[in-house]
Every structure is written in structure tokens, then in C-alpha cells.
Amino acid sequence: MIEVENLTKKYGSARGIDDVTFTVEKGEVLGFLGPNGAGKTTTMRILTCFIPATSGKARVAGYDVFEDALDVRKRIGYLPESVPLYTDMLVPVYLEFVAGLKGVDRRDIKNRVAKIMDDCGLNAVSKKYIGELSKGYRQRTGLAQALINDPEVLILDEPTIGLDPKQIIDIRGLIKNLGGRRTVILSTHILPEVSMTCQRVIIINEGRLVAVDTPQNLTYQLQRSQQILIRVKGPEKEIISELSKINGVSRITAKENGVNGINAYLVELKKDMDVGNDIPPVIVRKNWSLYEMRPVGMSLEDIFIKLVTEERIH
């Protein structure tokens, strides 16, 4: 549904995005994850025909974003980073106005607005002017205008930013329900949001893609460069020095002191090394006692930090 090939955007001599390639399948919800200035908004603006790329190709539903901009725009709903809303319009009036602009059939506009207000939880503010709305309701209104023409593709730039926790849960639920029939790209800084709402994640940093995968696979991939937590009873210094000698262990750190002299240590392993069988014999040989040994999972947060600070996966 969305194909992006070697897309590059330069703002003068400054980097926007650099050689970005990815695809999004029909009905997929894709998370776009990256720190400030990574290039999320830039990519989204190109996909929604707001700015031209410097080089590369982007197609939405088979239409080129440069050559067939009108066809692309018709099929896309876009929630920009900051939604330009008309502050002196009533919420439903604004939505009717946008529906008209987006070519919704005149006879359908009233029904369509009613349905979208319902879906986006806007009925409580149907008599309010946009200028009076709280941040959360503004964001909902932004989402409603993106959805008003029932677009095949939705591009949501940080849909939950600035919302309170309750609103975040509501909007996430809403977005999750959008998948299936629609193709969705959403950008976010909030990492759990990605595992909750997206089937695939793209991680972008300094304009370049650093990883494309399912949230589960990303977790798995990095778990292989693992960490193991062990609980051992014995002299701390010696434990650290003996276990550090095992081939494949990159680092061992004392984590916490437990009761009865049973202390926890985090053993960090070199990538793709499995030392699970090598740890217990050392402990037994030294007459210490092993109380626990288990792999430590990494959250998407850990992975994200690791990816953007250390390495590129492909």
C-alpha cells in the first residue's frame, strides 16, 4: 500500500532524511519510532505530499506522491504534528467544512460527521468552539478530520503527544481499531505505544533507518546479545573475577545484595555467545551456591536506546 524507496530529503544542506526505504502492507499498523529530529515528520510530510523529496520514490496505493499528488491526497488522512484548526468554528461545523473540502458527498456529510464524532468520542464537545477545547479534545478533533473522508491510509504524527494518561488509552484504543481495513503509519516517542498498537516498527535515527521489524522480533533479536541474571551465595569480588574469565562474558556487575549473602549479578554476554552451560560448573567448582539463573528480557525502550546509540542492524 505504501512503498518508499531511497527517499532523501535535504533542507538546503541540512539533513532531513537519508536514503530511507520501507514498505507498508495494506491493513497494517506501522510504528515510526525515533528521537527528536530523527526524520519522522519529514517522511510523513513527503508521503502526504506536503513537501517534495530531494530524491527517491514514494508511492501510496500505487500513486506517486510527486506525480499523482491529487490521487494520493484523496486516499490519505493526515494528523500533522500541530493540527491547524479553525478556532472560531464549532467542532461539528469544522468537521463538515473539512468533509466538504475533502470531497465527501454533500448528502453524506451530516451522517459522516455524526459517525466520526461518535468514533472519536467528540459528542461531549459538540457545542464547543475549537478555540475552547482542551489539548486532548483538539487532538481528537485532529484525528476526526483525518478520518472524515474514510481514507484508506492514515498518517498520524505523534497522535498521543500531550494527552493525559486516560486520553492516551482512549486514543490508542481508537487507533488499534482503525487497523485491518485501513493502513496506518503513526509516529511516537512512547515506546510501549508501539508494542500495543503496531504490527511492525521502523526505528529511525538521524535520518536513517536503523531497524524494521515486529516489536516481538526486535525484542528477540536484541535478547540474543543477552544478559543473564544470576543469584549466587559466595564472595562477591571472587565471583566477579572468576565469572569474567568465561569466554563469551563481556561484563559482570553486582546488582543487589539479597538476604543470607545471596547476591544478584548481571552477566552481559558477547553477541551470539551462549554461556549458559559454562556458568554453573565454575560456581560448583568454587563451592558457591547458585540460587537462580535466568535470561533478562529487554523492553522495547532498552532496545531503542541500544539501537540508536550503538549499532545498526542491517
Ligand X SMILES: Nc1ncnc2c1ncn2[C@@H]1O[C@H](COP(=O)(O)OP(=O)(O)OP(=O)(O)O)[C@@H](O)[C@H]1O
Instruction: List the single partner that 5 binds among Mg ion, ligand X, none, CB under 5 to 8 Å by kind.
Output: none
The side-by-side arrangement of strands in the sheet containing 262-269 is: 249-257, 262-269, 227-233, 289-295
Q: Write down the least CB distance from residue 11 to ligand X, Å.
A: 3
Q: Which is nearer to ligand X, 13 or 247 (CB)?
A: 13
Using CA atoms, how far residue 250 sits from 235, 257, 270, 294, 298, in Å, is: 20, 22, 5, 17, 17
Stretch of residues binding Mg ion (CB under 5 A), selected from 38-46, 70-78, 103-111, 122-130: 38-46
Cβ atoms of 121 and 84 closer than 8 Å: no
Q: Which is nearer to Mg ion, 34 or 215 (CB)?
A: 34
Q: What distance in Å separates the CA atoms of residue 165 and residue 36, rounded to the nearest whole number?
A: 21
Specify the length of the chain in residues: 314
Q: Which is nearer to Mg ion, 205 or 226 (CB)?
A: 205
Q: Does 197 bind Mg ion (CB under 5 A)?
A: no
Cβ atoms of 144 and 110 closer than 8 Å: no
One residue of 24, 39, 41, 60 binding Mg ion per CB under 5 A: 41
Q: Which is nearer to Mg ion, 158 or 242 (CB)?
A: 158
Q: Write down the least CB distance from residue 35 to ligand X, Å.
A: 7
Q: Which chain residues interact with ligand X by CB under 6 A? A: 11, 14-16, 34, 36-42, 81
Q: Write down the least CB distance from residue 149 to ligand X, Å.
A: 25
Closest CA to 206 of 85, 37, 32, 76: 37
Q: Which residues bind Mg ion (CB under 5 A)?
A: 40-41
